[in-house]
Amino acid sequence: MIQSVERAIAILRCFENHEELGVTEISALVGLNKSTAFGLINTLRNEKLLQADERSGKLRLGFGLLRLSENVKHDLRNICTLYINQLLYNTKETVNLAVRDGDNAIFIEKKESLHVMRISTTVSQPIPLYCTAAGKAILSGLEDIEIQDYLKRVRFKPFTEKTVRSKSLFKIF
């Protein structure tokens, strides 16, 4: 493994749980001295993978990552577009395309219905598998041992009053 690449990735991963961070916060989160973190951050900024807020000076993910992520989803979206459009036409309901990313579902495409009342999802935002229909559908395709391993790892956090809050209430049919 190349240590500097691992460190740069660790810096980017800080933003999985934080929208904006300062250099000092990032260096503490990844366990690097401030000067090392600063050098890596500047490289990531030059590559447009991080950007600084003009007012606060704090860092956030840059548009370079968005451009790269479009290439990741492109092939799958191309394959599924016809089916997504047909499903939207047939059901008149919002259609989401989600993939598994570890213990999360990530919506990579959506076509919204024209109904005033509809489910709102955000493309590219990871959501725990246990608290979304798409995530439960993904889990239902796993082997029993994989589901048991998942249930050992997951900490149920309520997102709404209807979110499953415990392993005993969580069932996959």
Do 96 and 27 reside in the same domain of the chain? Answer: no
- Say if residues 84 and 95 touch (Cβ distance below 8 Å): yes
- The whole domain housing 7 covers 3-61
- Among residues 61, 90, 110, which one ends one of the domains? 61
Rounded to two decimals, the pTM is: 0.56
DSSP per-residue letters across 88-128:
HHHH-S-EEEEEEETTEEEEEEEE--S-SS-----TT-EEE
Q: List strands edge to edge, sheet with 95-101.
A: 95-101, 104-111, 126-128
**Residue 59 confidence class, pLDDT cut points 50, 70, 90:** very high
Count of helices and strands (H, E) across the chain: 6, 5
What tens digit of pLDDT does each residue of 94-135 get?
Answer: 898 888 888 999 888 888 888 877 666 777 778 899 888 889
Do 37 and 117 reside in the same domain of the chain? Answer: no
What tens digit of pLDDT does each residue of 132-170 get?
Answer: 888 999 999 988 888 888 888 888 888 888 887 777 767
Q: What is the total count of domains within the chain? A: 2
User: By three-state DSSP, how is residue 55 classified?
Assistant: coil
